[in-house]
Amino acid sequence: MKTILQLYWSFLQIGFTSFGGLSMIPLISSEMLGHGWMTSTEVSDIVAIAEMTPGPLGLNCATFAGIRVAGIVGALAANFGILTPTFTVCAAAAALFEHFKKSKLLGYVMSVVRPVCIGLIWGVIFGLCLTNYTVDGNISVAGILIGILGVVLLVWRKWSVPKVICVAAVLGIMFCR
């Protein structure tokens, strides 16, 4: 029961202190590593799986992390934790919509929040690069080349994300073992 409550509390904090999407990854990583529930490689794997599956990243991560830590009940606790802040904020925003719509304060707050989110995203990119493009502390040239190929296929060849993920997975299995 203690682990279930810790999962709920961890994802409640993540939900209240992040702004969704990639900005959640450092917080999820910190909670998973801090409680000893996962290694950094396992967190990276969960983020990759969460990105591949339909739905919001935070909710997918909460589901996979909860299942990994405490089964279905853990997944439910993590999901309720990650959704509680969203529900609370949406309910409050709906109640005060007219006030927020014309508020200069909100405009000022958003001018601070946007750069912070960009910084968090760059931090996530850096952290994931350290995890995904190194093997035993050494740079993985094959991993970097697969990453570059993925960008080329997505941006210039206009391949779909699932196709690129499949190609990268096959190449990773072939060249990064």
Look at residue 97 and tell me whether its pLDDT is greater than 70: no
For residues 55 and 105, state if they share a domain. yes
Predicted pLDDT of residue 84: 93
Q: Are residues 175 and 145 in the same domain?
A: yes
Q: How many domains does the chain have?
A: 2
Residues 142 and 90 occupy one common structural domain: no
What is the mean pLDDT of the segment spanning 111-125? 90
Mark whether 142 and 109 lie in a shared domain: no
Q: Give the residue with greater pLDDT, 147 vs 102.
A: 147
- Note whether 49 and 120 are same-domain residues: yes
pLDDT at 155 over 90: yes
Same domain, yes or no: 30 and 94 = yes
Output the DSSP codes for the chain.
-HHHHHHHHHHHHHHHH--SGGGGHHHHHHHHHHTTS--HHHHHHHHHHHHHSSS-HHHHHHHHHHHHHHHHHHHHHHHHHHHHHHHHHHHHHHHTHHHHHT-HHHHHHHHHHHHHHHHHHHHHHHHHHHHHSEETTEE-HHHHHHHHHHHHHHHTS---HHHHHHHHHHHHHHH--
Residues 13 and 89 in one domain: yes
Whether residue 81 sits in one domain with residue 162? no
Give yes or no: residues 18 and 51 share one domain.
yes
Average pLDDT over residues 24-45: 89
Q: Which of 116, 132, 148 is the last residue of a domain?
A: 132
Specify whether 116 is located in the same domain as 171: no
Residue 63 reports pLDDT greater than 80: yes
Q: Is the pLDDT of residue 100 over 80?
A: no
Domain span at 173: 136-177
Q: Is the pTM of this model over 0.85?
A: no
pLDDT at 101 over 70: no
Q: 141 with 127, same domain? A: no
* Same-domain check for residues 94 and 168: no
